[in-house]
């Protein structure tokens, strides 16, 4: 699949017509059409504009989607920090984080069970 085809796919996924998507990227409908037909290459400014509208620019350029947690913005600052630490450590570190979270949840569940009894 070409860059132009992926631009079209992202535009359709986001529910825009060519003219509106072009305007979001700072270009006219004709330029948008040419991008989608692989007649022109999009500029960095265009890609930044459509990224702000939710387009996955990494996917457009590489064909590989970025894995993003659903509604990642709803995570607390502590949750985001923990997730960042998890992502930035090696496999052994990730196992330690997973085990720590598991035991902490078990401990909290036991404590909650004792309070109810």
Domain of 105?
A: 72-116
Residue 67 lies in a domain: no
**Number of domains forming the structure of the chain:** 2
32-70: per-residue pLDDT in tens? 999 999 999 999 999 999 998 889 999 999 999 876 655
- pTM reported for the whole predicted model: 0.58
| pLDDT, mean of residues 10-14 | 92
Are 88 and 38 members of one domain?
Answer: no
| Residue 71 pLDDT greater than 70, yes or no | no
What is the distance between the alpha carbons of residues 24 and 44, in angstroms, rounded to a whole number? 13
- Please check whether residues 78 and 47 belong to one and the same domain: no
User: Does 109 map to a domain?
Assistant: yes
**57 and 15 inside one domain:** yes
User: Is a pLDDT exceeding 60 seen at residue 10?
Assistant: yes
At residue 61, the pLDDT reads 96
- Give a yes or no: residue 54 inside a domain: yes
CB of 87 within 8 A of CB of 94?
A: no
What is the arithmetic mean of pLDDT over 79-96? 88
Other Cβ atoms less than 10 A from the Cβ of 24: the count is 20
């Amino acid at each position: 699949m070409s860059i132009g085809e992926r631009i079209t796919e992202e535009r359709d996924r986001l529910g825009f017509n060519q003219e509106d998507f072009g305007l979001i990227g700072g270009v006219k409908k004709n330029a948008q059409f040419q991008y989608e037909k692989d007649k022109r290459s999009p500029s960095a400014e265009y890609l930044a504009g459509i990224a702000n509208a939710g387009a996955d620019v990494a996917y457009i350029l590489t064909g590989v989607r970025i894995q993003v947690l659903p509604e990642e913005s709803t995570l607390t600052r502590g949750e985001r920090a923990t997730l960042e630490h998890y992502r930035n450590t090696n496999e052994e570190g990730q196992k330690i984080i997973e085990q720590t979270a598991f035991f902490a949840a078990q401990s909290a569940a036991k404590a909650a069970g004792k309070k109810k009894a």
